[in-house]
Structure 1
Amino acid sequence: MTTFDNLLLDLDTASGILTITLNRPTKLNALNSATISDIHGAMQQALDDEQVRGIIMTGSGEKAFVAGADIAELAGLNEISGRRFAEQGQDAFALIEESTKPVIAAVNGFALGGGAELAMACHLRVASENARFGQPEVNLGLIPGYGGTQRLAQLVGKGKALEMMLTGDPIKADEALRLGLVNHVVPQAELLGFCQLLLMRILSKAPLAVGLVIDCVNAFYDPERHGYQTEANSFSRCCGSDDFREGTSAFLDKRPAAFTGN
């Protein structure tokens, strides 16, 4: 696999799980344009690699998943470069959200600003007990630019999303769980292992069906698509698949299914 300056990639060929670790520990894994470019490149590579079946996204160290954007780079933005900065992040994070290979965020510590936005672009989020989530951009005279105004409202509701973004106040992992921002909270030492087991459970299912579930849910939030029609079309596609015939046969034969993704 291609190497990236700001990421560590570790592919377990036995399970097909690729772990992408943001690796800027001296900056608490803060996002800059180079790191966003690396995320986009690593995701595209993962989607194109048949060995990769699922992805875990995490940060190096125990303090931060991603502590936000690189303020030194932000300070130099103007209206034109600011739009490019936002669109670059939105494009990279859309690649994660629209991936038909499941992506789990293993949130170890601070997930602030762009870090919260990166976690929200992933399909599932598991947080360590010391995790903190927030969109503090108003403290800098900014708003979230990588999709935070959209995804946070989808996940926690309009009122709470507005409160978090208007005050800039972070929330702890237990509140994030209560609000539905994360799926699970686990001790720090168990975080990656828990995510691996969760992802392996998903990867034991029919790959085509898993990818189509993700696509159908995304269709609900896309004003240019019809969610129910997407669901009907996807259901029809499943019915014509080898995995459907294998899954139903295995159920009737009372044996484990051997899915191929076809």
Structure 2
Amino acid sequence: MAAIEVERRGPAVWIRIDRPERRNAYDLEMARAMTAAVESAADAAAVVITGTGGAFCAGGALDQLGDPDPAQLRALFAGSLRLVDAIRACPRPVIAAVDGAAAGGGNELVVACDFAIATRRSTFGQTGPRVGSAGVLGATNLLAVQIGEKRAKEMALLCRRYSAEQALDLGLVNEVVEDGALEEAVDRWLAEILRLSPRYLEIAKISSNQWWNQSKDNMSASLGMLVQAIGSEDMREGARAFLEKRSPDFRGGRNATAAAEAAAEGAQQ
């Protein structure tokens, strides 16, 4: 089964992320496939992005961060930026249909989408500093416009988790529905969209991108900083801890590295 499934359901294009064994975390090939699917949906009435297996999306796959290949990781960062930018540039409304965890880059997909509908069991949050990274493709910039600066920093810096009801109160999602009722709710939103002018929906959507457009330079610069940090001890420790299902020890590892460097310097004197 393909990792990304694209299905035309009447007037809408459904993009389904299908890697449930890793909570639908995406790699470069998957990011490119989603981007192509969004860009090819200009003739649809709307686009729906969803996941399988009780998760929405855990963002970019972390399995290579413990021993990162700089070229591959740089390409994944760039591919992630192209994906969220394609969502914002799509002339049709894009709906995040969230059932389960939206974490890290998956949470940023929710930020990028025009609308978000979630089941009660869904959760939201960033993972950046907790796993040796930073959510610079929405969480550290555009999210502040959506939920307020203090709350956005709470989410992006402290990596707290939020229930679907909390996400609704914050303004991150538009509606929360009972578990099992997600597709019915999405169809209801699609029916409402179909009653509207596609030409003026496009104008309204592109006009609403003011804050997104102002954030893109910040995103590109921040990705450059992430590239410079590839292979850092914090990145390696965060990935190892995530894969080993333990709490990371960023400061302990940093202190050990500093002690080793000091000892080596002392031996040379």
Give TM class, smaller chain. Answer: 0.7 to 0.9
Partner of 1:22: 17
Partner residue, 1:250 = none
| 1:77 to partner: Cα distance | 3.2
Q: Distance in 1 between matches of 2:13 and 2:133?
A: 33
Task: State the match for 2:34 in structure 1.
Answer: 39
For 1:217, which of 202, 208, 214 is the aligned residue?
A: 208
1:120 lines up with 2:117 in the alignment:
no
Equivalent residue number for residue 6 of structure 1:
3
Amino acid at match of 2:36: G
CA 1:130–1:175: 2 relative to 1, 3 Å: same
Candidates 129, 132, 142, aligned match of 2:123:
132
Q: C-alpha distance in 1, partners of 2:197/2:78?
A: 34
Distance 1:208 1:108, change over 3 A: same
Aligned ranges 1:17-96 → 2 under 5 Å: 17-47=12-42, 50=43, 52-61=44-53, 63-77=54-68, 81-96=72-87
8 Å CA contact 1:10–1:19 kept in 2: the answer is: yes
Question: Mapping of 1:102-121 within 5 angstroms?
Answer: 102-121=93-112
Code of the aligned partner of 1:159? K
2 CA distance for matches of 1:201 and 1:36? Answer: 29
Question: Which deviates more from structure 2 when the two are superposed, residues 79-88 or residues 160-169?
Answer: 79-88
Answer whether contact 2:28 2:75 (CA < 8 A) is retained. Answer: no
Taking the aligned partners of 1:72 and 1:110, their CA distance within structure 2 comes to 18
Comparing 162-171 and 172-181, the one that deviates more: 162-171
Secondary structure (helix, strand or coil) at the match of 1:189 reads coil
**Structure 1 gap segments, 5+ residues each:** 225-262
TM-score (norm: length of structure 1):
0.77
| Counterpart residue type for residue 6 of structure 2 | L
Aligned to 1:198: 189
Is 1:141–2:141 an aligned residue pair? no
Larger relative contact order, structure 1 or 2 (CA cutoff 8 Å, min sep 6): 2
C-alpha offsets along residues 224-258 of structure 1, whole Å, 9 cap, x if unaligned? 9xxxxxxxxxxxxxxxxxxxxxxxxxxxxxxxxxx
Alpha-carbon distance in 2 for matches of 1:170, 1:59:
19
Distance (Å, rounded) in 1 between the aligned partners of 2:140 and 2:72? 20
In structure 2, relative to structure 1, the CA distance for the partners of 1:45 and 1:169 (3 Å cut) is same
User: SS of 1:37's equivalent?
Assistant: helix
Contact 1:31 1:114 in 2 (8 A): no
Distance 2:39 2:68 in 1: 27
Point out where structure 2 has 5 or more consecutive residues left out of the alignment: 216-269
Pairing partner for 1:208 from 199, 210, 220: 199
In the other structure, the counterpart of 2:236 is none
Q: Which amino acid aligns with 2:118?
A: A
Identity of aligned residues (%): 29
Q: Say how many residue pairs are matched.
A: 215
